């Protein structure tokens, strides 16, 4: 399944530039990326695993004037830890959601 990145919120706050670059190179070669894992928390869809792939897709699509969308799968297993909803809220409060929210996360 595909989802428009504008519908997603970050669920991770560590994004490493070298990983983003590696994923973007794969996209530029026409390779597909492994689907990200998405979980719904408090009515929002959060990226549980795949922030690097999301950022690479955003960068790739923006350079080509394409709609940033990405393959995803259900990320509810294994069960989220009890404080994950609090973590998600803090990340959204800090960065926001959608394409601009992901772009606000500093590349380390």
- Mean pLDDT value of segment 71-90: 95
pLDDT at position 83: 94
pLDDT at position 9: 98
Cβ atoms of 69 and 45 within 8 Å: the answer is: no
- Say how far apart CA 98 and CA 92 lie, in whole Å: 10
For 29-68, write each residue's pLDDT tens digit.
999 999 999 999 999 999 999 999 999 999 999 999 999 9
Q: What is the CATH number of the domain that holds 78?
A: 3.90.1530
State the average pLDDT for the chain. Answer: 97
Q: Which domain holds residue 8?
A: 2-104
DSSP class per residue in 40-96 = EETTEEEEEE-HHHHHHHHHHHHHTT---EEEEEE---SPPPTTHHHHHHHHHHHH-
pLDDT at position 8: 98
Q: How many structural domains comprise the chain?
A: 1
- Mean pLDDT value of segment 76-95: 95
């Amino acid at each position: 399944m595909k989802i428009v990145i504008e519908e997603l919120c970050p669920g991770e706050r560590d994004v490493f530039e070298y990983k983003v670059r590696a994923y973007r190179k794969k996209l530029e070669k026409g390779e597909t990326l492994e689907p990200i894992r998405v979980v719904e928390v408090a009515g929002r869809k959060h990226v549980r695993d795949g922030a690097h792939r999301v950022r690479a897709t955003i960068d790739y699509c923006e350079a080509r004037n394409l709609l940033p969308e990405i393959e995803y799968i259900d990320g509810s297993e294994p069960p989220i830890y009890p404080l994950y909803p609090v973590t998600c809220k803090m990340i959204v409060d800090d960065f926001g959601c959608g394409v601009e929210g992901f772009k606000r996360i500093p590349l380390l």
